Structure 1
Amino acid sequence: MELRFLRDTDKREVDFVVLKEGAPQFAVECKIGEKNVNPAIFYFKERTAIPDFYQVHQGTRDYIKNGVRILPIETFCKELKLH
């Protein structure tokens, strides 16, 4: 397993991408609030082969916007069996 960040020459970025045997598994953006979704996450979703994108936050809302799941950090960790 590898952990990398994702950034392009225009400085759009997503906090990290998890890779397994060199292949991207999912990308994660971390935010305090649950309302504002990082526009870069949609940009990279449309232009990369990364299968899943998440934005985790400290709030309570769990929803999907344009194919990106926005969810509480606690839910994210439970689903990864980290909590």
Structure 2
Amino acid sequence: MANFSNLAKQISVTVDTIRRWLDVLESFYFSYRVRPWFKNVSKSLRKQPKIYTTDWSAIPDPGARCESFMAAHLLKAVNYWTDAGLGQFALHYIRDAYQREVDFLVVRDGVPWMLIEVKNSAKEPISPALVHFSRELMVPHTFQAVWEMDEVDADCFANPTTDHPLRIPMRTLLSQLL
């Protein structure tokens, strides 16, 4: 998550300059922002977005690289679904006052539709924040997508996963988005 004020102080420029630089990077398709989701839209616009680079392969940290990889594919899917007339889709992340956060929330026609937490290893337990938001928002499709997990032959969207997030290989989930 980018804190524009801290970044501006670190490099001795104004917050507006940081925003303009990010706008330029977005206009060249070098980066994009994923905004937090709130039922109150004006509140979400005041919160800090996450900023992702389109060149996820250049990210040295494995966890951040996996998250950026997933973000790029989700953004592509959300744009396609909207353009194909399947609904109005948007990509967000979700975080509450208790610092519980889930990496991605796909909203369909203004309603939470899919939650995704990205993990590098299958050894990591199901995220408690993922379980919490899945139940609180009654999201029909909830996944913990794992990078280092062999692909399986499963239909990710066959059954609602509101009460029990599904741990799924990232390859399997991504292969079923488009």
**1:47 and 1:21 mapped to 2: Cα distance?**
18
Could you tell me which runs of 5 or more consecutive residues in structure 2 were left unpaired when the two chains were aligned: 1-88, 153-160
* Map of 1:52 onto structure 2: 141
Q: Identify the structure with bigger relative contact order (alpha carbons < 8 Å, sequence gap 6+).
A: 1
Give runs of aligned pairs for residues 1-83 of structure 1, distance below 5 A. Answer: 1-36=89-124, 37-60=126-149, 67-81=164-178
Q: Whose strand proportion is higher, 1 or 2?
A: 1
Structure 1 gaps of 5+ residues are: none
Kindly tell me the number of residue pairs found equivalent between the two proteins. 79
Greater helix percent: which structure?
A: 2
RMSD: 1.8
Structure 1 residue ranges (4+ consecutive) displaced by more than 6 angstroms after TM superposition: none
Q: TM-score, normalised by structure 2?
A: 0.41
Aligned-residue sequence identity (percent) comes to 28
Q: Which one has the largest radius of gyration?
A: 2
Aligned partners of 2:112 and 2:137 also within 8 Å? no
- Say which SS state the counterpart of residue 11 (structure 1) adopts: coil
